């Protein structure tokens, strides 16, 4: 099978495509895979690192305000469709899959015009504008969460597939993960606000940790994110009279590189509600979700509420977040095993660990390949 992937801009758009591509490569070693993206998106580094060929087209998003750049963007869309048609003619894919981002539009439109089977995947509970437009043309719209279906009423066909999760995360278990991390049997809290960090989450968590540290209740793993967030967190601890070196039950780092171990080890996750929601639910992790208010369509709030409705999470909006609110939520969950277990079951109930395989089977179906 020959598969063309289009998606990019952010890791949330490209990682699902890479996960599906890796699954296909494992299941069908004779498959041929090509990615299409933009030079300015994260796909320009993420895709080559996985060993896949990447072709580029030029496309930008529309400005929300009136701008001459929007006229240029319209021209780029037509140019992008022509460029995509050229790539499709050269590669001759059996099927085309899009995962969001501006580049997905011209590539999927070109494929539909050329009668190539198409599938678009949406990772969030609130679909992005590109996916909402393409849902009318794609043969299949694959959704991570059923809630997203109400926003695409004119889709030809909708399938709930979940969002592909890294195999290394699914292969782990809590006992082994704790042993590898050298963590005791105490409950583990994992805190992260994304790769770039979240200043409000970091500061409130610092203050809460400072108020409970030394009581030896929990083991805490905290990822601060980049953009000088680590330095600010350390300074905040110092202002609170805390020298983190004296507390082995607290591990603070800029980035957690062994996130597969950290997620498996965790009893409770305190985090944003982007793509990592799929990983939390696939493992059945109880969570306190603090959606970013700075994302398109407020999609992180939609994601968080979907997990909350399952019983798997408590949602605290950023403007509600305080040391007292966080402290109460943590105590409510971790000081009552019945609550923790019920939240774990709720989270697990909406997790889809075999997402990549579901999408692979759909791609074969619409490509009419057995």
Domain range 2-165+353-366, its CATH number among 3.90.180.10, 3.40.710.10, 3.40.50.2000, 3.40.50.10420: 3.40.50.2000
Q: Tell me the β-bridge partners of 6.
A: 36, 98
Report pLDDT digits (tens) over 81-126: 999 999 999 999 999 999 988 899 999 999 999 999 999 999 999 9
Domain range 168-350, its CATH number among 3.20.20.60, 3.40.50.300, 3.40.50.2000, 3.90.550.10: 3.40.50.2000
Report pLDDT digits (tens) over 132-188: 999 999 999 999 999 999 999 999 999 999 999 888 899 999 999 999 999 988 999
Q: Tell me the β-bridge partners of 121.
A: 142
CA–CA distance, 74 with 265 (Å, rounded to integer): 48
Q: What pLDDT sits at residue 194?
A: 78
The two structure tokens encoding residue 213: 């540290």
**Same fold? 2-165+353-366, 168-350:** yes
CA–CA distance, 144 with 28 (Å, rounded to integer): 24
Report pLDDT digits (tens) over 322-340: 999 999 999 999 999 999 9
In contact, 281 and 348? CB cutoff 8 Å: yes
pTM of the predicted model as reported, rounded to 2 decimal places: 0.85
pLDDT beyond 80 at 62: no
Strand order in the sheet with 158-160: 53-56, 32-37, 2-6, 95-98, 118-122, 140-143, 158-160
Dmax over CA atoms of the chain, in Å, equals: 65
Element (H, E) at 98: strand 95-98
pLDDT beyond 60 at 71: no
Return the domain boundaries, the chain: 2-165+353-366, 168-350
């Amino acid at each position: 099978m020959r598969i063309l992937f289009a998606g990019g801009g952010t890791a949330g758009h490209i990682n699902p495509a890479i996960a599906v591509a890796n699954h296909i490569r494992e299941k069908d070693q004779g498959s041929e895979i090509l990615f299409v993206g933009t030079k300015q998106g994260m796909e320009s580094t993420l895709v080559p690192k996985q060993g896949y060929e990447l072709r580029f087209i030029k496309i930008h998003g529309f400005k929300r305000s009136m701008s001459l750049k929007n006229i240029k963007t319209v021209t780029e869309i037509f140019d992008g469709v022509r460029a995509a048609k050229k790539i499709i003619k050269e590669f001759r894919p059996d099927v085309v899959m899009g995962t969001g981002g501006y580049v997905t539009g011209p590539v999927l439109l070109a494929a539909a015009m050329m009668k190539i089977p198409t599938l678009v995947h949406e990772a969030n509970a609130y679909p992005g504008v590109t996916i909402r437009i393409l849902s009318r043309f794609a043969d299949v719209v694959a959704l991570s969460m059923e809630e997203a279906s109400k926003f695409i009423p004119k889709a030809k066909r909708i399938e709930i597939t979940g969002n592909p999760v890294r195999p290394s995360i699914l292969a782990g278990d809590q006992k082994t993960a704790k042993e590898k991390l050298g963590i005791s049997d105490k409950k583990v809290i994992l805190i992260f606000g994304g790769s770039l960090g979240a200043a409000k989450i970091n500061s409130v968590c610092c203050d809460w940790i400072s108020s409970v540290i030394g009581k030896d209740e929990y083991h805490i793993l905290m990822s601060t994110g980049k953009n000088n967030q680590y330095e600010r967190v350390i300074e905040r601890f110092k202002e609170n009279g805390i020298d983190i070196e004296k507390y082995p039950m607290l591990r603070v780092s800029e980035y957690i590189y062994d996130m597969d171990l950290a997620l498996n080890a965790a009893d409770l996750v305190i985090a944003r509600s982007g793509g990592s929601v799929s990983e939390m639910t696939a493992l059945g992790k109880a969570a306190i979700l603090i959606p970013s208010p700075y994302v398109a369509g407020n999609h992180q709030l939609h994601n968080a509420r979907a997990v909350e409705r399952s019983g798997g999470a408590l949602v605290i909006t950023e403007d509600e977040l305080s040391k007292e609110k966080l402290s109460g939520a943590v105590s409510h969950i971790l000081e009552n095993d019945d609550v923790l277990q019920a939240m774990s079951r709720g989270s697990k109930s909406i997790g889809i660990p075999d997402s990549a395989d579901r999408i692979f089977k759909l791609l074969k179906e619409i490509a009419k390949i057995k």
